Amino acid sequence: MNDDQFQTLTRLSAVASVYGASWVVANTVLPGWTHGLVATLLAVAPVVLILGIASSLGFELSGGQCRAATTDGSRCSRSRPPNRDCCWQHRELHDVTLHPEGIDEKTRAAEDDLVVR
């Protein structure tokens, strides 16, 4: 599953869980004081479950600093999206050199994933 498929799955599960929660609350015999609690649990649980599965599979749930080196040799200061190495500008270039700090950061993250699993 790639990053785009994961984002689509997360969005669809959020929408489906909200509609499902509203249907359950509207069509079941529950005391009135439980409607908000049940709706919240039914809406939040699937999204939390998908995020937990994604995290355990090694998906980056947040981005970080771009790992590319600039023309003067320093590290790019822009942010990058999750599961990507470079910011929007460096992704469009054909020949990108990664900064040594960015390579070390990526290596440490990969080693941490191996240790945890």
Predicted confidence (pLDDT) per residue in 2-49, tens digit: 667 777 877 887 788 777 777 777 777 777 777 778 878 877 888 888
pTM for the structure as a whole: 0.46
Q: Considering just the CA atoms, what is the radius of gyration of the chain in Å?
A: 20
CB 85 within 8 A of CB 67: yes
Burial of residue 74 (CB within 10 Å: 0-12, 13-18, 19+) is exposed
Query: How far is the C-alpha of 64 from the C-alpha of 109, rounded, in Å?
Result: 12
CB 57 within 8 A of CB 20: no
Query: How far is the C-alpha of 67 from the C-alpha of 58, rounded, in Å?
Result: 18
